[in-house]
Structure 1
């Protein structure tokens, strides 16, 4: 009996609430307006490698234009730290994939550690026999902020030969998954 009464009351409320004679406060309804989009302002980056070379690129609405790699190589930006176990686990996979696709693919590792002595970074590179560029310095943190305010590492960002953003990877990524997207980046 109570269930029937509750059911009838619910139906009555439903039909009275949907009444087209109901009034509403129009001030609570968002007005449609045209918002003029601001033109995209590109950012220029100049990352310094441990051997004092400069890797220059610019942000675009689609991704990054790498001065030295555009039209030649897909690029994986690897934001890492020397104390990070998943970052260290990625190194053999990176080396293998870089060697396999050496004509079409490059890795740029961006150190995400403040005030790390160069000697310690060089020891790390030698210990793990890292053959790809590793960047250091304050510009790394500007890039990390612009890439979505990176807070956790490793984070990796893959770009096609033409600089188009392809995929973001967070944490450990399987070799198979990386290779699948590297092939896409090379073909685009």
Structure 2
């Protein structure tokens, strides 16, 4: 009889603690949901100290500073030969579609100062925004994750991801995609 009572109390205490653990997990999940909502805004700092704000809503990334524009997010590094090779194409696209299109380069390279990146940018005559901030990595993980460079994401005017490019991409392919988005 004493064994049955002890077994019953043991099972009851296990169930009680399991129930509390579930409640604690639900509270932790609720707190995580709140923190995820707080992380829906990503602030990228450009090398000329402007801030570009991306707001993620339901998988779309709206750029506050460039509403109703097609955005090309270009994840790159200064040491990457294919990244350097595609810069002239990005400059051409930026010039050709400047009223409807914006290139934003997102540096994925640690320990680079804005001065170093500005020198790099000037040496290639880059005419688009180049960002250098910790939130660059946050964006790369959230949108991708970005596993190799160069990687680019073309966003429609509504912020939805229209196309993902990995590696060097012919300018003609990007132009076809831009024109498809302009006709939407």
Q: 2:156 aligns with which of 136, 142, 160?
A: 160
Q: How far apart, in 1, do the equivalents of 2:183 and 2:58 lie?
A: 20
Q: 1:54 aligns with which of 45, 48, 51?
A: 51
Residue number in structure 2 paired with 1:32: none
CA distance in 2, matches of 1:180, 1:94: 14
SS in structure 2 opposite 1:186? helix
Q: Work out the CA distance in 2 between the residues paired with 1:135 and 1:185.
A: 25
More helix by share: 2
Which of the pair has more CA radius of gyration?
1
User: Does structure 1 residue 137 correspond to structure 2 residue 137?
Assistant: no
Asked whether 1:107 is paired with 2:103, we answer yes
Matched with 1:169 is 165
- CA distance in structure 1 between the partners assigned to 2:64 and 2:70 by the alignment: 12
Structure 1 segment 19-30 matched on structure 2, within 5 A: none
- Look up the SS of the partner of 1:68 in the other structure: coil
TM-score, normalization by structure 2:
0.77
Equivalent residue of 1:45, what SS? strand
CA RMSD of aligned residues (A): 1.8
Matches within 5 A, 1:11-160: 41=37, 43-71=40-68, 73-160=69-156
Which structure 2 residue ranges, 5 or more long, are not aligned?
1-32
Pairing partner for 1:180 from 168, 176, 180: 176
Runs of 4+ in 1 over 4 A off after TM superposition: none
Q: How many equivalent residue pairs?
A: 150
Contact 1:70 1:161 in 2 (8 A): yes
